[in-house]
């Protein structure tokens, strides 16, 4: 069977995700399947997004890291990479701040795209 053109396939577009962010009561989406029938993505509702963050906080992989960004729930092995990451939270970088992890962006477009990190699994 030929693949449908990309536009016809359901996808976790930045816009879809941003709508979820603005509508806190939305439930997580049904899974989006890839062409092999595997679950590719789930767009999370706000509550599930928060649960997902809690889960990551207690994940061994995260807890074992030497350097942690608690805002992003990300662990790092190397100090240099950790320091580079922390620049993302520098308030001087722009006016658009992610309400989930406090990452700072100069453009609203970039922030909207960034929400995909939190609202998909
Ligand atoms: Zn961070
Ligand atoms: Zn964020």
**Sign of the dihedral defined by the CA atoms of residues 88, 89, 90, 92, in that order:** positive
> Which pTM value belongs to this model?
0.73
- Tens digit of each residue's pLDDT (9 = 90 or more) over 37-63: 877 788 888 888 999 999 999 999 999
Tell me the pLDDT tens digit for each residue of 79-97.
999 999 999 999 999 999 9
Residues at Cβ < 5 Å from ligand 1 ion: 69, 71-72
What is the number of the ligand closest to the CA of 111?
Answer: 2
What separation in angstroms does the CA of 97 have from each of 7, 13, 16, 79, 90? 30, 20, 19, 24, 10
What are the residue boundaries of the structural domains of the chain, listed by start? 6-119
């Amino acid at each position: 069977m030929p693949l449908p053109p990309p536009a016809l396939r359901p996808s976790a577009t930045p816009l879809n995700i941003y709508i979820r962010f603005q509508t806190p009561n939305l439930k997580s989406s049904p899974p989006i399947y890839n062409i092999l029938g595997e679950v590719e993505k789930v767009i999370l509702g706000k509550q599930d997004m928060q649960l997902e963050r809690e889960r990551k906080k207690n994940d061994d992989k995260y807890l074992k890291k030497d350097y942690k960004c608690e805002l992003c729930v990300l662990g790092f092995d190397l100090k240099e990479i950790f320091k580079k990451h922390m620049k993302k939270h520098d308030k001087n970088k722009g006016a658009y701040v992610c309400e989930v992890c406090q990452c700072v962006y100069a453009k609203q477009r970039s922030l909207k795209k960034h929400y995909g990190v939190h609202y998909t699994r």
